[in-house]
Amino acid sequence: MERKTDLSRTLVNSYRVALYRVMIGNGKSFVLKIKKKSADLEALMKSHNLFTAVYVTAYNSQGKNTEPHINVKSQKNLSGDVRRTGLPFWEGFGEDPTGRWKSEPSFLILGITLADAEELGKRYGQNAIVWMEDDYVPQLIMLR
């Protein structure tokens, strides 16, 4: 499902190898990896009887290091948008296993449509989102 992009291979590869951590409460979490089926995601989605999901952040618009105060404000705005959907969501952190990028606060939202997920990512200047359906395999969706 990955779309053609004009972004550098290095940047796109950083999205492919990132660890997308979901905080599920009581200090517990699980990690999503692109193109790797997640039993934890499957259990979460089935428990809510919802079979689509997106993992999205508002940090580092267009893949550029952004001033911390701008990132915090953008993420706060995204938080409001996520809450207004009324859909179940969990906070998380996108993590770079190489350490080049700092962790980025993110959200996993269940039950969202692909069109709404893409619009949300574009609203916050994101190059990509992580999309999941009922195969429980996270896919990178390029937005630029």
The count of domains in the chain is: 1
Q: Is residue 46 part of a domain?
A: yes
Q: Is residue 1 part of a domain?
A: no
- Residue by residue, pLDDT tens for the chain (144 residues) are 556 666 778 888 889 999 999 999 999 999 999 999 999 999 999 999 999 999 999 999 888 888 999 999 999 999 999 999 999 999 999 999 988 888 999 999 999 999 999 999 999 999 999 999 999 999 999 998
Q: Is residue 2 part of a domain?
A: no
Token pair for 96:
């770079």
Burial class (CB in 10 A: 0-12, 13-18, 19+), 17: exposed
Q: Is residue 105 part of a domain?
A: yes
Q: Is residue 4 part of a domain?
A: no
Where b means 16+ CB within 10 Å and e means fewer, 70-81 reads ebeebbeebeeb
Q: Is residue 21 part of a domain?
A: yes
pTM value is 0.93
**Amino acid letter, 53:** A
Q: Is residue 76 part of a domain?
A: yes
Q: Is residue 128 part of a domain?
A: yes
Domain housing 134: 9-142
